[in-house]
Chains A and B, each alone.
Chain A
Amino acid sequence: MNKTLFLGALTVASIAAAASSAATLDDVKARGKLNCGVTTGLPGFAAPDANGVWEGFDVAFCRAVAAAIFGDPTAVEFVPTTGETRFTALQSGEIDMLARNTTWTFSRDTDLKFDFTGVNYYDGQGFMVPKSLGVSSAKDLDGATVCIQTGTTTELNLADFFRSNNISYQPVPIQTNAEAQQQYLAGACDVYTTDASGLAATRATFEAPADHIILPEIISKEPLGPLVRHGDNAWGDIVMWTQNALVSAEELGITSANVEEMASAPTNNPEINRILGTEGDLGAMMGLSKDWGKNAILAGGNYGEIFEKNIGENTPIGLARGLNALWTEGGLQYSPPFR
């Protein structure tokens, strides 16, 4: 018994010991694949399809980073994490980056020692109620029972919202989105609250989505984005600039369809040339190959393509671009220049 315990402890210790390492890029290259933390399953953002292949909005960012490094969008090991395990998984080095609807907050950035590499989805917390309840505003929810997915910023926003409006509620903490959905549909709670994008994604999987409405109030700012461990800035740069490349690609009209053609010879636009590696060598500055940008865009298309394919208006999720349109179209998606 003692021996088994000891051996077990040893194993744990050796995993922990492997955690501290300096250059994440070298580790990833040596391993031959990227370990990317995603949700345990949220349709549209990250969920395995019928063949067990992960797909979704967050997944596409993991694939773009993998493609930028290896030129191969499939060189990713997806690690499903819950709201509770995600930060420990990243801190301990079990995953190299986390792309899991994670809200960028001050304390996560500073106290927990993470670096957010940008915002890939501007979200906000909303409420979903059955139409039959006859509620049209979140301020009418006095006394309601609210299902919350525990381990997220939503709990705090919810408490603040009800407190500032002087109304009461009864929280029902639930661990995963799937359980919350079951409880909500069974009527164990009147309201389900989470990020508006998550609500739309969840509603899309209902038998009768039209029987449920998402209330107009958005009660918080939820800038969602990928994050990496603090302290390895070179690695953080790679994730950040891959993301920026996807946004710039949309702005400059580079798509998965025409990227090969544009990359085959220098175009008239120097910025396109720099991103695609036909002019200068931006990749080398980050320790990547010359064609990193081309590979990243080829993986799943530019930002707009990724959005439309996974969560856009023509998908069951049906989210409008809204704040996530390019800055040139009235949205907030904006990439610093490539030069």
Chain B
Amino acid sequence: MTISIDPPKQSFRLSQLIYDTRYRSITIQVVTLCLVALGIIWLGYNASVNLTALGLEPNFSFLWNRAGYDINQTLIPYNNSDTHARAALIGILNTLLVAGLGCVTATLIGVIAGVLRLSKNWVVAKLMTVYVEGFRNVPLLLWIILIYAVMTEGTPSPRDFREGGTASMWLDSTVAVTNRGLYIPAPVWGPNSGFVVAVFILSIIGALFYRRYARKVLFDTGRLLPMVWPALLIAIIPAVLVFFILGRPIGLSYPELGGFNFAGGLQISNPLIALWVALSLYTGAFIAEIVRAGILAVSKGQSEAAFALGLRPNRTMSLVILPQAMRVIIPPLISQYLNLTKNSSLAIAVGYADVRATLGGITLNQTGRALECMLLIGLFYLAISLLISGVMNIYNNSMKLKER
């Protein structure tokens, strides 16, 4: 800005706001801001006037009324005498469950597919191209419904497992694949089982310490200690020992056919699996492209230098290429996580009870409070998205190129 250096020769004229490039952009921004603000105010005013005219002032007291409906997957205790607020909480937990599972598997699938797409093996590379293009270019809703339909049509119903039926259980009668879900043995926590869990957690921490020690040895002396096997042993052996010393406090309950369905064991419902698989594969395809872009962004000289130093391709990828590629990968990865979380709201298509299905579906219908329910759901997704990007930004800052 030159204003402060040479004094203005002429006084300020209003027309400068439009014709003077020094002010024009500010003028445009201020005018736009005013219009947008006016628009928002008008929308809010309009909505409140119309709602008042209909006698429907926003009111959230319905949240504390009895919900009266049942939900098929509840991570915390719930029955139909609980409140709408608790039903909403059940939905929120279900959303978080599928979003969390989805983010993890989508990342795994994405990284593997992205790396394999660059493989020198023609068949592998082309297969990955087919996967990525197939999933990226077909709407997610279709994939969810398709996977769900395949799962319900392609698997036997529980009544086929009866005596003389056409289906039988797998893995020594411990796992049943039905068109209502996957039934697996569930852990039964006996007395003292907390002890085993505590030992297990401690040994995992121990394994992490070993890893740190091995790295230190590597950097200090150049000696390469084995990493994977000792860490695994440290993590598992103490817990197994304690488990047997205490007389096997953790048992298993096996699914058994009783009445209409399997009882006992743990049911992983088909809607959850379908949604999880579809979200993972769909988002994984996008992540694969991000990973590929990130890898290609690392200059070829880096891998050539690594090869010249005698590093094998695996180590070149994990020690040289990926750490540098991460800086390109993480920012777009954040938005994929946000997409996955928000896309999980398609759950109702397969009858999965996420927050859109409980608070935004059944509660909305039973109470008729559409505006309030949608507002609450909007706030929830906003909060969870901001939280995810906040956490990922911290991670991004720790991975960022640090200029010293």
- Asked if B70 and A159 sit within 8 Å, CB to CB, the answer is yes
- Asked if B180 and A155 sit within 8 Å, CB to CB, the answer is no
Question: What would 19 more interface pairs be, CB under 8 Å, given A143-B258, A186-B179, A187-B179?
Answer: A9-B39, A13-B39, A16-B46, A16-B50, A19-B50, A87-B370, A88-B370, A91-B54, A133-B159, A150-B362, A169-B70, A172-B271, A173-B72, A173-B348, A173-B351, A173-B357, A188-B157, A188-B179, A229-B54
Residues of A within 8 Å of B361, CB to CB, are 84, 150-151, 173
- Asked if A13 and B351 sit within 8 Å, CB to CB, the answer is no
Q: Which of B52-104 contact A (CB under 8 A)?
A: 53-56, 68-72, 80
Given contacts A2-B32, A113-B54, A143-B258, contact A172 B46 (CB under 8 A): no
Binds B, one of A61-69, A104-112, A264-272: A104-112
Residues of A within 8 Å of B368, CB to CB, are 87, 107-108, 111-112
The 4 closest A-B pairs by CB, nearest first: A187-B157, A143-B259, A151-B365, A159-B80
A88 to B204, CA, bound (A): 53
A91 to B53, CA, bound (A): 11
Given contacts A84-B365, A155-B69, A186-B153, contact A20 B260 (CB under 8 A): no
Instruction: Give 11 A-B contacts (CB < 8 Å), ordered by A residue.
Output: A6-B36, A9-B39, A12-B43, A13-B42, A20-B54, A150-B362, A152-B365, A155-B366, A172-B72, A173-B357, A186-B149
- Asked if B349 and A175 sit within 8 Å, CB to CB, the answer is yes
- Asked if A6 and B35 sit within 8 Å, CB to CB, the answer is yes
Residues of A within 8 Å of B180, CB to CB, are 145, 170, 188-189
Q: Which of B25-40 contact A (CB under 8 A)?
A: 32, 35-36, 39-40
Residues of B within 8 Å of A234, CB to CB, are none
Is A316 an interface position by the 8 A CB rule? no
Q: Which residue of A lies closest to B49 (CB)?
A: A20
Chain A residues touching B, majority SS: mixed
- Asked if A170 and B72 sit within 8 Å, CB to CB, the answer is yes
Is B152 an interface position by the 8 A CB rule? yes
Q: Which of B306-333 contact A (CB under 8 A)?
A: none
How near does chain A come to B111, taking the closest CB pair, in angstroms?
Answer: 31
Is B364 an interface position by the 8 A CB rule? yes
- Asked if A171 and B70 sit within 8 Å, CB to CB, the answer is yes
Is B203 an interface position by the 8 A CB rule? no
**Contact flags (1/0) for B249-289 with A, using CB distance below 8 Å?**
00000000011110100000011000000000000000000
A142 to B261, CA, bound (A): 10
Q: Which residue of A lies closest to B348 (CB)?
A: A175
- Asked if A155 and B152 sit within 8 Å, CB to CB, the answer is no
Is A221 an interface position by the 8 A CB rule? no
Q: Which of A157-184 contact B (CB under 8 A)?
A: 158-160, 162-163, 169-175, 182-183
Is B106 an interface position by the 8 A CB rule? no
**Contact flags (1/0) for A212-236 with B, using CB distance below 8 Å?**
0000000000000000011100000
A17 to B40, CA, bound (A): 14
Is A144 an interface position by the 8 A CB rule? yes
- Asked if B43 and A13 sit within 8 Å, CB to CB, the answer is yes
A173 to B70, CA, bound (A): 10
A interface, size bucket:
35 or more
- Asked if A144 and B260 sit within 8 Å, CB to CB, the answer is yes
Is A83 an interface position by the 8 A CB rule? yes
- Asked if A155 and B362 sit within 8 Å, CB to CB, the answer is yes
Is A195 an interface position by the 8 A CB rule? no
How near does chain B come to A257, taking the closest CB pair, in angstroms?
Answer: 42
How near does chain B come to A112, taking the closest CB pair, in angstroms?
Answer: 4
Residues of A within 8 Å of B42, CB to CB, are 13
Residues of A within 8 Å of B46, CB to CB, are 13, 16-17
How near does chain B come to A128, taking the closest CB pair, in angstroms?
Answer: 15
Given contacts A20-B54, A143-B258, A175-B348, contact A151 B362 (CB under 8 A): yes
Is B47 an interface position by the 8 A CB rule? yes
- Asked if B70 and A150 sit within 8 Å, CB to CB, the answer is no
Is B353 an interface position by the 8 A CB rule? yes
* Complex partner residue of B50 from A17, A187, A190, CB under 8 angstroms: A17
A159 to B78, CA, bound (A): 13
- Asked if A145 and B364 sit within 8 Å, CB to CB, the answer is no
- Asked if B56 and A10 sit within 8 Å, CB to CB, the answer is no
A231 to B56, CA, bound (A): 13
Residues of B within 8 Å of A171, CB to CB, are 69-72
- Asked if A173 and B362 sit within 8 Å, CB to CB, the answer is yes
Residues of B within 8 Å of A50, CB to CB, are none
Q: Which of B214-261 contact A (CB under 8 A)?
A: 258-261
Is A156 an interface position by the 8 A CB rule? yes
Q: Which residue of A lies closest to B353 (CB)?
A: A173
Residues of A within 8 Å of B153, CB to CB, are 186
Q: For A160, A175, A230, which residue has the most chain B Cβ atoms within 10 angstroms?
A: A175
A29 to B365, CA, bound (A): 31
Q: Which of A69-96 contact B (CB under 8 A)?
A: 83-84, 87-88, 91
